[in-house]
Amino acid sequence: MEMELPRTQYSQEFRGQSVKFFKESGLTLVEAAKRLSLPKGTLKNWVYLTNEENSLQ
């Protein structure tokens, strides 16, 4: 039987700051995620969602 890890809740502010850090740092997604102690998939999703929101405005 697989154990599921509890999901971490991140504030909107933290998400925004993380995406901003990634975009301004010049780091790869993997490296930025490591420095933020985030799974790379999580940061990737946030960046994607931020780009989608911006394209709708």
pLDDT digits 0-9 by tens, 12-54: 999 999 999 999 999 999 999 999 999 999 999 999 999 998 8
The residue extents of the domains of the chain are 18-56
The number of residues making up the chain comes to: 57
Assess contact for 13 and 41: CB atoms under 8 A.
no
pLDDT for 1: 63
Query: Within 10 Å of residue 18's Cβ, how many Cβ atoms?
Result: 21
pTM, 2 dp: 0.82
